[in-house]
């Protein structure tokens, strides 16, 4: 599995073969608090980079999840419907949201690596 890349909106993405796996970061889930609901896109939907891809609701707030890269949704994590708390327990593992076929894998190059993301999070107020 490839190294994850990160957005300034606290999504992560990593390549798994020719698919991009997308979720929210540990920082994002910690800011949200207990996740109680996740709304995922339909399979076959074309997502546009930096546009809404999903919605996550917690006891504190509802928040949009944005597509880190453009592409077609080929799989969603149905397990989150039954157990949305998986996002809190394992945000970068079993708590993934969607898998998509990237339209342009080079878009990943525009995202932060883990070290840059860590610095970005440390700068948050």
Q: What is the pLDDT of residues 33-82, one digit of tens each?
A: 999 999 999 999 999 999 999 999 999 889 999 999 999 999 999 999 99
Q: Which domains does the chain have, with CATH numbers?
A: 5-104 (2.40.50.100)
Q: Tokens for 70?
A: 């453009």
Supply the pTM of this predicted model. Answer: 0.94
Kindly list the strands in the beta sheet with 19-24, ordered across the sheet, starting from the edge strand earlier in the chain: 5-6, 11-16, 19-24, 98-102, 71-76, 46-47
| Residue range 90-104, pLDDT digits in tens | 999 999 999 999 999
Query: How high is the mean pLDDT of the chain?
Result: 95
């Amino acid at each position: 599995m490839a190294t994850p890349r990160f957005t300034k909106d606290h999504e992560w993405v990593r390549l798994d073969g020719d698919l991009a796996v997308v979720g929210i970061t540990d920082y994002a889930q910690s800011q949200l608090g207990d996740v109680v609901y996740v709304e995922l896109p339909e399979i076959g939907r074309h997502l546009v980079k930096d546009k809404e891809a999903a919605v996550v609701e917690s006891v504190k707030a509802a928040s949009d999840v944005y597509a880190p890269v453009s592409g077609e949704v080929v799989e969603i994590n149905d397990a989150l419907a039954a157990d949305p708390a998986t996002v809190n327990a394992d945000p970068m593992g079993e708590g993934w949201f969607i898998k998509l076929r990237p339209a342009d894998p080079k878009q990943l190059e525009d995202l932060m690596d883990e070290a840059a993301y860590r610095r970005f999070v440390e700068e948050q107020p």
